[in-house]
Structure 1
Amino acid sequence: MTVSARFIGSEIYRGSSYGDWHPLRVPRVSTVMDLARALGWLPAESYIRSPRARPAALHAFHTPEYVSALLAAEEAQTVSPRIRERHHLGTPANPVFAEMYRRPATGVGGALLAGELLRQGGRLHLPGGGTHHGLPDRANGFCYLNDPVFAILSLKAHGARRVAYVDIDAHHCDGVEAGFARDPETLLVSTHEENRWPRTGAVEEEGAGQVFNLPIPSGAGDDAMALARDRVILPAVAAFRPDAIVLQCGADALLEDPQSRLAMSGHAHLDVLRALLPLAPRFVLMGGGGYNPWGVGRLWTAAWGVLSGREIPERLPGPAQAVLRGLEWRGQKRVKMPPEAWLTSLVDPPRPGAIPDMLRARVAALEARLVAWV
């Protein structure tokens, strides 16, 4: 049975790239749009073209000086050494490219629209969102603007008093934590690979008491995420009683992703999504990390299927397979020919994996904090 859900997308993601050498050279949002349409999951009435945020709107989190520098860098297609040093623009991680303002501003525009569209409740997918590293005065970790921050602000501006932000990306959400760690009306829960850049998000980081970080050891699979889901994520969100939930569903915790050493299948992410959906009347699902074009495209399409109440097929029909067979991963030497499963299915078989004692100890520590917090 399908349910009412909306999808915010844009064609800007189809043609823009951080550069042929950058991890974000791969197609992502455009693949999700094409796959969803090939499956019949994205009728015209469900699709909304994302607006682009105006510069003044960005000042709610980013400094005017940084926004001006980002605009100027896109126009000039170069930055001075001073701007590079101060705002981290034109670096290997955050390069100058043709749409370096317009593309992230489109993600923020969708995030701002999300709060408005969900004023009366509902579900919304923003796969171009999830840039959770952006900081007020500088680009950070491939993220020029922080659209999750703007989604939270917009939800609050349109009637959601308490917002739970859950992040299951392989990298810690340092930018979102910088924005809301001291806000008692925002819950932050993050699972991320330990000792992975930006190397923040320790269990001990508490903020004002509503920040719960769980570093997960390298090599962990679906069972590790299930433990985190059942004993940290769900208890924290349920106790918080949010008016809205934002889930950042980064795909880089998948086994096949080159930017982490976690070993999960898409089932880990989808089971978190399914479990969170009943816990708030407003729900925003975002993208995030994900650097294998087949992995990220399949996962975020499957997540849209869950959000909108579709049944995920065991084998994709021909038109959907054609989308996946048409993908390229230029410059990647590890995968010369994608496995057949990447071309014919949305979700790989479960990857249970062992649960290290260290992870159990961290979960127990967070459970103790939850008891004291509640």
Structure 2
Amino acid sequence: MPIDLIGPRFIGSEIYRHSSYGDWHPLRIPRVSTVTDLARALGWLPPARFLQSPRVKPPALWAFHRPDYVAALQEAERRQFVTDAVRATYALGTPSNPVYPEMYRRPATAVGGSILAGELLREGGVIYNPAGGTHHGMPDRANGFCYLNDPVFAILSLRRNGAGRVAYVDIDAHHADGVEAAFADDPDVCLISTHEEGRWPRTGALTDRGLGQVWNLPVPRGLHDDEMALIREEVILPVVAAFRPDAIVLQCGADAVLEDPQSRLALSNNAHWAVVAGLRGLAPRFVVLGGGGYNPWSVGRLWAGVWGTLLGEELPDRLPPAGEAVLRTLRWQGQRREVFPQDHWVETLRDAPRTGPLGGDLRARVDGLIRRQAAWV
């Protein structure tokens, strides 16, 4: 049985509060600081549950990232400039992966938190690292806003600390291409990714296999809560349960909700929280990471609700004044104008459910995965 005397713990850092990818980039918005402040305003984050994230040192990154890439990333941060050759070789200084002041220190802190999570869960328990989830990073280059791949390091850390089999579940709107690149041929890692069909990076086809356990489910535009419930109950939970993992890592990207500008999916935050709750008891070690999320109000509310779900808290129908104040301080300058929040973005934590009929094409894809899972068992 897991030893978890303190209960779930939250890993964070002040480095995220004022760090931005630039005024024009989707990651110009505050995210980790918002969920931290909101959790505190709700009374869910006493000092005993909060852990300061360490920053990983370069040699530790060489377990997945090439030393020359790590050195180039550090040099780009130091100089705040990259040459054309560095840009072409490592995808640094591009529109997706810009040069900004904390471009090494910020992702290295997220990786440090995910490594710490694996170390702390040697005897079992639950860790939440909302700054994590940078699932696109590749060994030799930045990719899709991700300079380093902290989910890979969470899995490696868990395995170093006694977890022989790890299930990685990713419900971000974008395919977990970097994590799949790391573990597609590893039979002791089960990879499940749901992601919008046809959206960048346009990988993760239903037919992809690898030598290990790879379960990709591209979903159609407009995916709603009832359809995600079908995926949760008939694919995600049965596949993870059959794998019998020693640890689960969940990437809980918030960009699959209706209000997010970087996808065309239509989930409410209830769908994410139901996945968190469903996976909670399927392994003695549970690491939950952040990921995508580009509407500051929806990502803050969703990730705060993840933390409340992990704690077993009753989510309030209306936010207390201190919580509402956190959300009312947010500003979101769009590409052409400032975006102002809808009332429920600042007054509530829980979205109204977003339901609808099941799409026949999705039903067919799920049935195909069910048949595959039955054959595997």
TM bucket normalised to smaller: over 0.9
Corresponding residue number in structure 2 for 1:228: 231
Deviations 1:36-89 (A, max 9, x none): 011110000000010000000000000001000000000000001111001000
Deviations 1:311-335 (A, max 9, x none): 1101000000000000000235576
| Structure 2: distance between partners of 1:296 and 1:205 | 30
TM-score w.r.t. the length of structure 2 is 0.97
TM-score w.r.t. the length of structure 1 is 0.98
Corresponding residue number in structure 2 for 1:361: 364
State the superposition RMSD in angstroms. 1.1
What secondary structure sits across from 2:339 in the alignment? coil
Corresponding residue number in structure 1 for 2:154: 151
The answer to whether the Cα contact below 8 Å between 2:56 and 2:112 also exists between their aligned partners in 1 is: yes
Unpaired segments ≥5 residues, structure 1: none
Corresponding residue number in structure 1 for 2:283: 280
Q: Shift of residue 310 of structure 1?
A: 1.1
Amino acid in the other structure paired with 1:271: A
| Structure 2: distance between partners of 1:227 and 1:264 | 13
Deviations 1:299-358 (A, max 9, x none): 000000001121110100000000000000023557632111111111111001332111
Deviations 1:235-275 (A, max 9, x none): 10000000000000000000000000000000110111111
The answer to whether the Cα contact below 8 Å between 1:188 and 1:211 also exists between their aligned partners in 2 is: yes
Aligned with residue 129 of structure 1, among 117, 129, 132? 132
Aligned with residue 16 of structure 1, among 14, 19, 34? 19
| Structure 2: distance between partners of 1:346 and 1:170 | 21
Aligned with residue 52 of structure 1, among 55, 60, 70? 55
Greater CA deviation, 244-253 or 201-210?
201-210
What secondary structure sits across from 2:147 in the alignment? coil
The answer to whether the Cα contact below 8 Å between 1:62 and 1:136 also exists between their aligned partners in 2 is: yes
Corresponding residue number in structure 1 for 2:299: 296
Corresponding residue number in structure 2 for 1:210: 213
What secondary structure sits across from 1:223 in the alignment? helix
Corresponding residue number in structure 1 for 2:67: 64
What secondary structure sits across from 2:281 in the alignment? helix
What secondary structure sits across from 2:280 in the alignment? helix
Amino acid in the other structure paired with 1:166: V
Aligned with residue 318 of structure 1, among 321, 341, 346? 321
The answer to whether the Cα contact below 8 Å between 1:216 and 1:224 also exists between their aligned partners in 2 is: no
Unpaired segments ≥5 residues, structure 2: none
| Number of residue pairs aligned between Structure 1 and Structure 2 | 373
Q: Do residues 98 (structure 1) and 101 (structure 2) align? A: yes
Aligned with residue 76 of structure 2, among 62, 73, 78? 73
State percent identity of aligned pairs. Answer: 66
What secondary structure sits across from 1:363 in the alignment? helix
| Structure 1: distance between partners of 2:148 and 2:360 | 37
Q: 1:334/1:173 Cα in 2 relative to 1: closer, same or farther (>3 Å)?
A: farther
Aligned with residue 41 of structure 1, among 40, 44, 48? 44
Amino acid in the other structure paired with 1:336: V
Q: Shift of residue 368 of structure 1?
A: 1.2
Moved over 4 A (4+): 332-335
Q: Do residues 194 (structure 1) and 197 (structure 2) align? A: yes
| Structure 2: distance between partners of 1:28 and 1:125 | 14
